[in-house]
Every structure is written in C-alpha cells, then in structure tokens.
Structure 1
Amino acid sequence: MRPFKQALNIAKKEWRLLLRNPHGLAVLFLMPAAFILVMSFALKNTLTSANVEFPNTGWVIEDSSPIATQWAGEWIARNGGERFASRTQLHEALRARQVQAGVIVQPQWLDEQGKPRADHIQLWLSNRIQPSAAGRLRAELSYSMLQVQMKIAAAAAGPFASILLGSASSAELLPATGALTIRYLYEIESGRKMSAVQQSVPAWLIFGMFFVVIPIAGVLIQERNDGTLTRMATFGVTPGAVLGGKLMAFMALNWVQLLLMLLVGRWLVPALGGDTLYLDLPIAWFLLMVLATSAAAVGLALVIAAHTRTFDHAAALGGGANVVLGAIAGIMVPRTLMPAGMQTLSEWSPMGWALDGMQAVFLGAPDAAQIVPKASLLLAFAGVCLLLSWQPIRHPERVA
C-alpha cells in the first residue's frame, strides 16, 4: 500500500501544480474548444450538398443572336445576376467580389443545326467560390442549354423558335455539343493552371512565420528573469532600442525561413513528384508583403513574450493563438470550403490579411488595390503590438 499512497500523493501534487498554471489549463481546454468551434463552422457545408447557395453571377453576351440574349435574360430573371458590357468589366467585378462567377457567351454559340455549343461558354470563377456552388452553377448551365436545344428542335418546323424558349418543357433532353470552359480568376490573371504547391506555400509560409514567438519568448523571458533588461537600462539602452533590435533580428530570421520554404517548393517538391512552385513573382509587391507579414508576426510574438513570465506560458499562449488565427484565416481549411460568414470572419485575422496579400502575389497579377490595404493593416498591427510591448520592456519587474 505504501507505493500506492506515494503515487497518490504525487498525483495530488501534480494536480495542485496544474491548478496553479492557468496558461497550461487554457491550452488543454480552451484552445481545443475554440479550435473545434472554428473548424466546425469552417467545414459546415463541405460534407453535405444541402442548402448550397447559388453564386451571384455576371454575364457577358458576345453572341448577337436573339436566342442567346433571351436565354441570358431569362436566366438572370430566374436565378439572379447582372449583365456586363465586356470581359474587362466582368474581370473587375470578380476581383472586387461583386460577383462570384461569370458566364461569357461567345459568338456563334448556336451551331449550324441550331444546337447550343457548350464549348462556346466560358465560365469564370472567383478564387473563393465554394466548389459545391461552382458545381451547381455548372450543372444548371448545362441543363439550361439542353432545354434550349430541345425547344429549338421542337420549333424547327416553324420560323419563331425563340418564342418557345420560355414555355416548352421536356422529359427527354438531347446532348449539347462540347464542354464548358472553366477558368478561375488566378488562371485568367497568371496565364497558367493552378497547382497545390502554388496555393499551399504562401499559406503555410505565413503560419510558420507567426511561430517566431517561440524563439523570441525564450530570449526575452530569459533576459528579463536574469536581469539583462535591467542592466541594459542602466547603460541608457531605451525600450525602443530593445524592441527595434529584436524586431530587426527576428524579421531577418523570418526571411531565412521564407527562403528555405521557397526552395522546398521550387526544388524538393518537384523532385519528389509534386508540382513546381513558380517564382516569377512581382518582386516589389512580394517584398512589401514579406516585410509587412514579418513585422506583424514579430510584433505579435513580442507582445506575448513581454506579457508572460515563463517560457512555458508564452509558448502555450503563442502556439494556441497562432493555431486559432490560422484556422480563422483559411490556412487550415481553404477559404473556398468555408461558408460566406467564415470567409468574412477570416478578414479580421492578421494571418487572413497576410494570406490575401500573399495569394494575390503568388496566384495572379496583383496591383496596389490588392496589396497596399493588406500591407497597411499588417504594419499598423505591428505598430500597435510594439506599443503594447513598450511598458513591460521598460519595467520588466512589473510583469505578473
């Protein structure tokens, strides 16, 4: 019985220590609960086809035939959407998220026999459209063209086939010719097909950069506990200098990390049979996003390290915060799989701002309207974090 009592007393001691460690308990209980909530909502509609919302659609009618015009008009009246005068206007609407998809009816949409040509329809999709919504749109377009074909065939004996477009129905549809041409926005802008590595590298690069909290916490907490920060203050080293030095050092560490991940995507992944990461990026926008993302990541790490007493607390808080922010931002689950509400929420995460800017750089042809607002938000976030870190660095003995 004595060994059992000893083991029981040790267990009681461990429980007392746990109860005195709220940060550890938060990681054990609150972080998994928050992660379950975030992931449950993020994956809400991915495992069911029910209640798939029809995407807001824009139309460009390049075919001058009255049948094409009437078909598009009836579709818009029935399913919603709007017409655009040109592909350029449709492209801008997709970039501004005014519409989620675009349908371009090319010239000579009807062949010599009066059959709709599916290969004369281009379907442009937003980078964020849900696959289920895109699938529904594609199916509805194919079904609608089959209806047009059947009605024209039924009216072939008369000269006014378009009159029957709104009234005919059929239980037997004839196959349309060809297949829809589907292009995502990033394919339109970059001129190449999207690959998994091109989409995953910017996401996981951002996630890795924010984990700089681990080395920062180790250095800063040790400096505070052994009195290094106090001794530097006696030599006239200001809190601004301390924060500035750490910001520069760990941002440089982020850049080395970035270089390694780019090399992995460019050389190691294809060597193992995967797709190649394209690095023909707009260098100015890329460097701006790297600078802003790195500043935000180091700033957040400094706040956490400055306000925690032990490395274990900082690692637990920083790791948990990064996981939740990454899940909200669309790193754990691609935004295309998220419902609209979660996609909106992701825009409030610093990692979400970084992901928007980085994916614009890696996946398309970015401009100032896409990059500058996200970079500004990240730099402002970094500035706020540095301000919040100032007081604990100035008075390290007051950190609870």
Structure 2
Amino acid sequence: MTRPAHRLHQIVRLAVKEWRLLARNPHGLAVLFFMPAVFVLVMSFTLKNTLVARVDLPVAGWVVEDTHPAAQAWSQEWLGRHGGQRYDSREALRAALRTRAIEAAVVVRSPWLGEDGQPRAEQVELWLGNRVQPAAAARLRTELSFSMLQVRMRIAAAEAGPFASVLLDSAATPELMGEGGGPRIRYLYEIESGRAMTAVQQSVPAWLVFGMFFVVIPIAGVLIQERNDGTLTRLASFGVSPGTVLGSKLVAFMLLNWVQLAFMIAVGRWLVPLLGGPALQLDIAPGWFALMVLATSAAAVGLALLIAAYSRSFDQAAALGGGLNVVLGAIAGVMVPRMLMPPGLQTVSEWSPMGWALDGLQAVFLGDPEAGDIVLRAGLLLGFALLCLAAAWWPIRNRERAD
C-alpha cells in the first residue's frame, strides 16, 4: 500500500472511531440534533405571523367620550362591521386590556369633529395590549384612518352636491386625510407607567434573566469536580449534610447573579448611551425589584443545581443545561418579544420559569408594577426553586451514602 493510500486508510479508520464514540454519547447527539430541532420548531412558530401578507385585526374595545351623533354613528358602524365591545370609562377599558379580555382599545375624545365639521384623527387614541403584534397594530391603525377618511368623504360629498364625484376621485389627497395621519398609538405599559418602552428597557431584563439561568455552567463545573475528587465525601465525614452543601452553593451563586445584575445594569445605564442608544431608566420600585431578582436568582441556581446533581460529567451538564436554557429563553420571549409570537405560543410561554422572571422584571423596569402580578410570579419562581433543590438533594445524599 502506498503512503498516501495508507494515510487515507488511517483517516477513514479514525473517523469511524469518532463516529462510534459519538454514538455512545447521547448528550452530544442531543446537542447536535435534538436541541436544534426543538429550537427550529419554537422559532418557526414564534415568527410565523411576522412574514405573512395579511394579519387579523385585534379585538378592540371602545370608549366614545363624544356624544355627538356623528361620533356615535361612526363607532356603531365600526362595531357592527368588525366586532368589539363598548365600555363606559377609560378605567374599564384599561382593566379589560390588562386582563386580555380585549387586545386593543379605541378612545374617541370630545370633540371628535373639528370646527370645519370634519373628524380629527388626533382626537382618537389607540391603546394596545403589551402583546399585540406590530403588524396587527399597524393594520388596526390603518383601518381606523381609512374609516375616518370615509366619514370625511361622505361629509365632503354631502356638502359638494353635484361636485361629489370630483371629491371622490381625489379621496386620497392630504386635505381629506387630515394632518394627523392616524390615531396615536400607546401601549398599555406606556399608559400605566407614563414611560415609553425603549429597546434597552426591554433588553436588559430579558438578557439578565437569560444570563442568570446560564449559571448552570459554573455550578456544574464546581459540583462535579467536588464529587470526582472526593470533596463531598470528606465534607460528609465532617457532618456536613447535603442540604448544607446545596444551601452554600445556593447562596454563593445567587451572589454571583447579583454581580451579573450590576454588570448588566451598568452596560444599559452608561455603555449603551456612549454608543448612541437610549439610557436604561432606573427609577424603579426597589422592593419589587429586589424581590424579583431574589426569586429569579433562586430559580436559576436551583435549576442549575438540579442539572448538575444528576449529570455524570461536565460536558453532559453543559450540553443539557445550555440547550435547555436556549429553548426556555426562546419560549419565554427573551430572543423574540412575545408580541411577535402567535397566541398559542404566548400561552405556552406563561409556563416557563424564564417567562415568569421576564414578566416580573419587565413590569418593574416599566415603573408601575401591579403588586399581585409581582407576588404571583415571585412565588412561582421560589416554588420552582424549592422543587429543584429538593430533587437535587436526593442524588447527592445517595452518592454520599454509597461512598
């Protein structure tokens, strides 16, 4: 056999060896095939409504503060054509948005008609729930603008008499469209907090949650090394219980999460403005903020300890923990905002620990969190942390007894 042929034969044999080793590593195969497949499924369903040519109108509630017959007739015509519900006050409308009984709201202020007798777009407010897709919001705003344009056309045609056909031919002129161009859009978080949602205000809580849950990597390294070199066995011989071991790691890595928190806030507060972006606003409720960070950190460290306790090697823990965090982050709305997700996936995201943490922290950073929402999500996270710690305690206890 010639030298090149011999080398080729060696390469083929060694390649077959690598395939055999990989076949014996199910966690490596999961990282290569299962996790990407799950991620493709999640992201495909998440983004499926962003590339379609037509989106459905969101369900809208109405409050008509103008008692003029024209305003009343316009709202009734819209409701009869597109559906929806009228409410008695802005407070009732806001409550319906908060409970997601409706997806959008239209407030017709008085006077809706200007001095020229024409409807004014600036007298119409369009409120949107925090999860309404931008495409759906844009279509609703366009439909409202076109509906008001039709009213202006009818009024102008009635005044013009025999010249109505001329006006109808020029229906798209700026004079008939009005100066406002369309109703003003405000999201529910803007209405409740009085603060506009900037990219950094949304990104910092999202990626802070994602970073906290990636604490599984250092925890797995420490716990598996201590198990392999006999440190856990020596601690047990000194009367240190598995609960104490888990508690010490919980405290240590929760403090590490707080360091992460300070770093992320510093980036959003000072580095982003230096690069030309908006600064992170920190006028937030400190009590609710501390509670959410504590609960999020406990859940993240608890999940990491659970994965590390059942993993036989660092590679196994890193593959499982890293892949699981990526999937949980995609579902929770870290990588793609929930407003871009279809309703079914939005519902699924509400059962993700990252989703609980993200909802709570974003509510805090918006400046006006509801006490019930914060306490509920913090309670879910702390309960999740306790379950993870209880499940992690068992294998550590059994290994100590075996040793």
Alignment TM-score > 0.5, same fold: yes
For normalisation by structure 2, the TM-score amounts to: 0.93
The match for 2:122 is: 119
- Partner SS for 1:91: helix
Check conservation: 2:283, 2:367, Cα contact below 8 A. Answer: no
1:46 aligns with 2:47: no
The match for 2:139 is: 136
Check conservation: 1:58, 1:102, Cα contact below 8 A. Answer: yes
Check conservation: 2:331, 2:345, Cα contact below 8 A. Answer: yes
The match for 1:341 is: 344
Shift of 1:364: 4.0
Check conservation: 1:247, 1:299, Cα contact below 8 A. Answer: yes
Match of 1:254 among 231, 252, 257: 257
Deviations 1:233-292 (A, max 9, x none): 122111111111111110000010011000000001101111100011111111111011
Match of 1:224 among 218, 227, 245: 227
Match of 1:293 among 275, 293, 296: 296
Identity of aligned residues (%): 67
Paired residues for 1:146-185 under 5 Å = 146-156=149-159, 173=171, 174-179=176-181, 180-185=183-188
Shift of 1:398: 8.9
Shift of 1:171: 6.4
Paired residues for 1:294-309 under 5 Å = 294-309=297-312
1:332 aligns with 2:335: yes
Shift of 1:157: 8.1
Moved more, 92-101 or 117-126: 92-101
Check conservation: 2:131, 2:338, Cα contact below 8 A. Answer: yes
1:233 aligns with 2:236: yes
**For 1:331 and 1:294, how far apart are their aligned partners in 2?**
16
Shift of 1:86: 1.4
Shift of 1:92: 1.7
- Partner SS for 2:122: helix
The match for 2:283 is: 280
**For 2:12 and 2:77, how far apart are their aligned partners in 1?**
76
Match of 1:94 among 88, 92, 97: 97
Q: Runs of 5+ in structure 2 lacking a partner?
A: 162-167
Check conservation: 2:128, 2:185, Cα contact below 8 A. Answer: yes
**For 2:222 and 2:302, how far apart are their aligned partners in 1?**
15
Shift of 1:194: 2.1
**For 2:186 and 2:160, how far apart are their aligned partners in 1?**
38
Deviations 1:343-372 (A, max 9, x none): 111111111111111111112410212211
Shift of 1:59: 0.9
Shift of 1:6: 2.3
1:11 aligns with 2:15: yes
Moved more, 360-369 or 3-12: 3-12
The match for 1:166 is: none
Q: 1:237 to 1:187 in 2, by over 3 A?
A: same
1:28 aligns with 2:28: no
1:43 alignment partner AA? L
Shift of 1:44: 0.3
1:32 alignment partner AA? P
1:12 alignment partner AA? V
**For 2:284 and 2:368, how far apart are their aligned partners in 1?**
9
For normalisation by structure 1, the TM-score amounts to: 0.93
Shift of 1:178: 2.1
Check conservation: 1:145, 1:176, Cα contact below 8 A. Answer: no
The match for 1:205 is: 208
- Partner SS for 1:182: strand
Shift of 1:112: 1.8
**For 2:397 and 2:198, how far apart are their aligned partners in 1?**
48
- Partner SS for 2:62: strand
The match for 1:392 is: 395
1:25 alignment partner AA? L
**For 1:134 and 1:171, how far apart are their aligned partners in 2?**
28
Check conservation: 1:328, 1:349, Cα contact below 8 A. Answer: yes
**For 1:134 and 1:68, how far apart are their aligned partners in 2?**
22
Q: Spell out structure 1 runs of 4+ moving beyond 6 A.
A: none
1:144 alignment partner AA? S
Check conservation: 1:61, 1:69, Cα contact below 8 A. Answer: yes
The match for 2:164 is: none
Shift of 1:172: 5.3
Check conservation: 1:211, 1:319, Cα contact below 8 A. Answer: yes
1:191 alignment partner AA? G
1:113 alignment partner AA? D
| Count of equivalent residues | 388
1:352 aligns with 2:355: yes
Q: Runs of 5+ in structure 1 lacking a partner?
A: 159-169
**For 2:111 and 2:401, how far apart are their aligned partners in 1?**
76
**For 2:374 and 2:118, how far apart are their aligned partners in 1?**
45
1:7 alignment partner AA? I
Check conservation: 2:129, 2:188, Cα contact below 8 A. Answer: yes
- Partner SS for 1:155: helix
2:310 alignment partner AA? H
